[in-house]
Amino acid sequence: MNTNNEVLSQKEQDALMEKYDPEARTRKVTGITAAIVFIGLLSFSLFHLYTGAFGQFTAYIQRTVHLGFALTLVFLLFPARRKTAKNSVPWYDYLLALASVIVCGYWPFFYETLVQQFGGINTAQLIIGIAAILLVLEATRRAVGLPIIIIAGAFMVYALFGPYMPGILAHRGLSIEQFVHTMFFTTQGILGTLYKFPQPLSFYFYCLAHF
């Protein structure tokens, strides 16, 4: 038995966790920000408890509300860079959190218009959709890491630049409007089938896992 093993201090253990686990890099917020995060987490939980017990909203509303909560909390809790101070939230993260609320609130507020809309999307919807894609990518980079963004980016490039791909990889490609429409205004992109997994019943398992 080796008795010469060094025991890492708590600080060194935390540093290792932050190096290899993005989820360990969350901020230690205080004051008003801590209250906002608490209210957000509580509302997020109550939303899923309610829809799990009394029935879900339509897929678009259910999933965009979930996405809005998740993005907002990520931007408040996860710093943009590893070495950024973790005891305060910079102004641009408040703006990103606000943008997340606005973008994801678009579906619930304009649901009737969107489900009855035929054809493509208008300019405002194009801007909303692009913002949603960028917010999801940035939140994913912070919470999960850069490699998944590189993979997602490669597939996005492939979808948009299909006609320029060599040989059997070539395809007709999508215009930016078609791409954004598919990614945020259908259930084939960000709001797709895989996004259904975290809600609502599996949310109970996440809650129970913390007790």
pLDDT in tens, 182-207: 999 998 999 987 666 555 555 555 55
User: With bands split at pLDDT 50, 70 and 90, how would you rate the model's confidence at 112?
Assistant: very high
| Within a domain: 97 | yes
Res 119 pLDDT > 90: no
Q: Which tens digits make up the pLDDT trace of 125-174?
A: 999 999 999 999 999 999 988 999 999 999 999 999 999 999 999 999 99
| Within a domain: 144 | yes
**Rounded CA gap, 71 and 80, in Å?**
13
**Cis amide leading into 200 (omega within 30):** yes
Number of domains in the chain: 1
Q: What is the pLDDT of residue 1?
A: 44
| Within a domain: 4 | no
Q: What is the mean pLDDT of residues 52-79?
A: 90
Phi and psi at residue 57, to the nearest 5°: -75, 180
18 and 25 Cβ atoms separated by less than 8 Å: yes
97 and 132 Cβ atoms separated by less than 8 Å: no
Q: Is 31 left (phi over 0), alpha (psi -120 to 50) or beta?
A: left
**Rounded CA gap, 176 and 83, in Å?**
35
CA nearest neighbour of 44 among 62, 69, 26: 69
Q: Which tens digits make up the pLDDT trace of 6-48?
A: 676 766 665 665 655 666 678 888 899 999 999 999 999 899 8
Phi and psi at residue 98, to the nearest 5°: -65, -40
Question: 112 or 200, which is more confident?
Answer: 112
72 and 44 Cβ atoms separated by less than 8 Å: no
Task: Give the CA count within 13 Å in the CB-facing half-sphere of 51.
Answer: 21
pTM of the model: 0.84
Tokens representing 140 are 């994913």
Res 2 pLDDT > 50: no
64 and 108 Cβ atoms separated by less than 8 Å: yes
| Within a domain: 2 | no
Residue span of the structural domain in which 61 resides? 10-208
Name the percent of the chain lying above pLDDT 70: 81
| Dmax (CA) of the chain | 72
Q: What is the pLDDT of residue 3?
A: 46
